[in-house]
Amino acid sequence: MTDTLQASAIDRQASLRVLAVLVCFAFLCWFLLFSPWTEISDYIHNEYFWQGMTLATLTLGILTLLRQRGKLGRLFAFEPRFVVWGFLHAGFLYGLSWLGVFLVTAIFSSATAQLEAIYSTRYQLDSAIIAALLVLVIAPFEEIFWRGLVLEELLAILPPRSALWIAIGLYTAVHLWAMNPMLLLAAFVLGAHWSLLYWKYKSLLPGLISHAVWDVLIFVVFPVPL
């Protein structure tokens, strides 16, 4: 019994170490993608943001798939309702985004400039290419990493409420590098929503579909007017 408990504790510690390394790598990637503080990160953000985001999310996603290869059947569990819920939640978040932008810009004049900074990367590539990258790589692999690894691992060792708060906090904090309050607010609301979707349905598919559809709507098809 003691040996079993010790082995379990060692496994948890090993999992936490792996998780910590990958989260630190994600923070480094997001620094290079969003930070205006260094010449190289500013250059990447203003010239090669979509290529960088694609490479970062793809790398983190592949590492997650390798790490979680024994859980893939459960992580990608499919039910027809997951597709429906994914689209419905994308529509809800899109409407919430419009409402949030309307309210915040009406109260804080500085919010418009922050939103313009977020949208500035839209002009780096053709909109069709951006849409394809969002749907095929960026949104899916973000969900695979942040929910399929970070939240999944935390749920395995912590009470659900603690795991959810930490996972949401990490997803929000990784966007701190941009020094953009509107981006942080969006990351918090969206991260909380997609984390709760994963916790409720125990599958990545509802959040993955929601994330991909919302990304394309908000960045390509019907951007929020400023």
Residue 26 domain-assigned (yes or no): yes
Mean pLDDT of 123-151: 98
Could you tell me which residues come within 8 angstroms of residue 216 by beta carbon, excluding any fewer than 6 positions away? 131, 134, 135
The band of 113, judged by pLDDT with boundaries at 50, 70 and 90, is very high
Q: How far apart are CA 69 and CA 216, in angstroms?
A: 29
The answer to whether residues 124 and 49 touch, using CB atoms and an 8 Å cutoff, is yes
Q: Among residues 211, 55, 97, which one has the least CA distance to residue 147?
A: 211
Q: What is the end-to-end Cα distance of the chain in Å, rounded?
A: 62
The answer to whether residues 143 and 207 touch, using CB atoms and an 8 Å cutoff, is yes
pTM given for the model: 0.94
Residue 47 domain-assigned (yes or no): yes
Residue 226 domain-assigned (yes or no): no
Residue 169 domain-assigned (yes or no): yes
Residue 12 confidence (pLDDT): 78
Residue 200 domain-assigned (yes or no): yes
Which of 129 and 109 is assigned the larger pLDDT? 129
Query: Across the chain, what does the average pLDDT equal?
Result: 94
Mean pLDDT of 99-121: 94
List pLDDT tens digits, range 24-69.
999 999 999 999 999 999 999 999 999 999 999 999 999 999 999 9
Amino acid at 113: A
Q: How far apart are CA 8 and CA 181, in angstroms?
A: 41
The band of 14, judged by pLDDT with boundaries at 50, 70 and 90, is confident
List pLDDT tens digits, range 62-88.
999 999 999 999 999 999 999 999 999
Domain count, the chain: 1
Residue 226 confidence (pLDDT): 75
Residue 100 domain-assigned (yes or no): yes
**Domain interval for residue 43:** 2-221
